[in-house]
Amino acid sequence: MKLEDLDRNFAVQTEINEPDLVWLNVRSVPFAVYGLLYDEAAHRFTRMPKDAAQAVSASVAELCTDTAGGRVRFRTDSSAIAIRVVTHNRSAMNKMARTGQSGFDLYWDKDGELLFKQALIPPADLTDGYSSLAKTDGVLRDYLIHFPLYDVVNDLFIGLKKDCALEAPTPYADVLPVVYYGSSITQGACASHPGNAYEAQIARWINRDFLNLGFAGSAKGEAAMSKYIASLPMSAFVCDFDYNCKSADELRAAHEPFVRTVRAAQPELPIVLVSAPRAIRGEASYLDRRQVVIDTYEKLIAEGDRNVYFVDGKTLFAGVNWDLCTVDMTHPNDLGLFRMAQKIGEPLIKIFA
């Protein structure tokens, strides 16, 4: 009997001609999927339960089906690694590479460090899915595949050589993830491929799981979102919302209550407060918003909170050629995201040292 008669996962339709590939659904063991849930009713991956997302806003309920921050990890000695993705893809974005919006990318462990191996590039005429193939050296090692930042994924199948080893991945240093909340920049705009989102970079440096709760245009610090985040098991919380509030006054009304809701639920949780990168606002508006974040931080410090940290948005793109850090003086490119990862990663590295 053929394998496809035993398990539908082996019957994946693909244009890849690599011989002796066996196709496996990433939701099966020993693959480990991180940063995502699976909505069985809607048959797609999601970053939040449907009812929790709908309680926040219609836009969050829509955007949570983008797979930003999703990863699958595994260990194999297969000399070829292929993907077949089933998607309901969004229209191409005018400021972001399709490789970041809809693509996957592959990382492999080289002497204990996860390094970029290859972009798994979608076609220009992407509609409902695609296939991509990477060749490897056939050495048993850990692999990591990032999911798209701004697209919907219904299913992901991985093709491996028929007789290869396949094992569970080396675990992260902590079972609890770092949770990030913020806007389109947090979601990953405008990374050229998913592994360049700032959270993904930090995660590879500190070997920690993470959950990306970035929502383009929709991170307004709603009470329902603060309560949801407060309920999550996590090792640290990075609060990076500012950009989507219409004014400093609107931000002030939301920011401190949001942080206090999380703090009340988890008194010892490390919380990192981030103000916006300087490039994105006019001087007066920028300084007013920055002061809101500083005020929240200073109030908590004055009350004796020793598990709260502040990352100044003035430093995020600072240095030579700061003007090269964005696509549009708002959304960071890969250079800007790298600099953000460095600065936001600093307190996390200290926390987990």
Domains belonging to the chain, first-starting first, are 3-167 (2.60.120.260), 178-351 (3.40.50.1110)
Q: Read off the pTM.
A: 0.95
% of the chain with per-residue pLDDT over 90: 86
Measured CA to CA, the distance from residue 120 to residue 131 in angstroms comes to 8
pLDDT of residue 281: 52
Measured CA to CA, the distance from residue 72 to residue 86 in angstroms comes to 15
Measured CA to CA, the distance from residue 304 to residue 180 in angstroms comes to 24
CB atoms within 10 A of CB 48: 24
CB 290 within 8 A of CB 241: no
CB 143 within 8 A of CB 104: no
Of residues 76, 86, 70, the one with CA closest to residue 22 = 76
pLDDT of residue 10: 47
pLDDT of residue 55: 98
pLDDT at 7 over 70: no
User: Can you tell me the mean pLDDT for 289-297?
Assistant: 97
Query: Residue with structure tokens 């981030």?
Result: 274
Of residues 231, 200, 233, 235, the one with CA closest to residue 214 = 200
DSSP states of 148-196 as a string? PSSSBEEEEEEEEETT--EEPPPPPS-SSPEEEEESHHHHTTT-SSGGG
CB 75 within 8 A of CB 142: yes
Residue 15: pLDDT band by 50, 70, 90 thresholds? confident
Cα atoms in the Cβ-side hemisphere of radius 13 Å centred on 218: 18
pLDDT of residue 1: 27
